[in-house]
Structure 1
């Protein structure tokens, strides 16, 4: 079963974020706290949204999708950027990841959004094969760039940026 996340789900979402970071060999980079996630998802001005895959019988969390709106200047409408899609290893292969993506695609269609986008690590062949099986295609002509930590702080402190 897929449902919208609730504030009570935040500790489990946090735990799964950490599980995902460990799988992606980046656990030290996963510094978000439960409180930060709660604020982002359910604060006064939510910046992100989440859906849960839960067991039909006991409601236990099996996976989650955390996403936010983006905007295409070329299409003139919003889209969804999927930040994280995760299904616990013991429950993979049961259709939960597809069900989560199906729900996000449904939201896009219902709201007139024209894109559902996400990133995947180049070495994550099982996920790449899964996404391709759904009809998703890589955007090979684009390279993601990111500023974080010292580089972000340095650029943000530059006087030229305040004009």
Structure 2
């Protein structure tokens, strides 16, 4: 079962983000607090959205998708950028990841969004195979750049 996250889900979303960071071998990078997540998802002006995957049998949370809107200047419409998709290891292979992506694709279709995009680590072969099986295409010729920490501060304080 896939459902829209509610404020009471923030602690489990935070926990899932920590699990994802461990899986991606970067636990030190996951610094978001539950308070920050609550504000981003449910504050006065939400900047992100989340969906929860629950186990059909037990009802427990087994995964999540956290996303936000982007905008294509070429297409002239919004799209969804999927920041995180994570399903707990014991629940993988049961359709939860596909159900989360299906829900996001449904939202795109319903709202007229023309893109659903995300990134995947080059070494995550099982995720790449899964995305390929859905018909998703890698964006060859593009390299992701990121400014954080000191480099971001340095650039942002230049006059």
TM-score, length-scaled by structure 1 = 0.96
Shift of 1:56: 2.4
Query: Given the alignment of the two structures, is residue 80 of structure 1 paired with residue 80 of structure 2, yes or no?
Result: yes
Moved over 3 A (4+): none
Shift of 1:57: 3.8
Instruction: Output one character per residue of 1:46-102: Cα deviation in whole Å (capped at 9) or x when no partner.
Output: 000000001224421010000000000000000000000000000000000000000
Q: Secondary structure in 2 aligned to 1:82? A: strand
2:18 maps to which residue? 18
2:155 maps to which residue? 155
> Aligned partners of 1:157, 1:84: CA distance in 2, in Å?
30
1:46 maps to which residue? 46
2:134 maps to which residue? 134
Q: Secondary structure in 2 aligned to 1:62? A: strand
Instruction: Output one character per residue of 1:115-152: Cα deviation in whole Å (capped at 9) or x when no partner.
Output: 00000000000000000000001001111000000000
1:109 maps to which residue? 109
Shift of 1:18: 0.3
> Aligned partners of 2:143, 2:98: CA distance in 1, in Å?
26
1:94 maps to which residue? 94
> Aligned partners of 1:64, 1:3: CA distance in 2, in Å?
10
2:33 maps to which residue? 33
> Aligned partners of 1:134, 1:150: CA distance in 2, in Å?
39
Shift of 1:20: 0.2
Q: Secondary structure in 2 aligned to 1:53? A: strand
Aligned length: 159
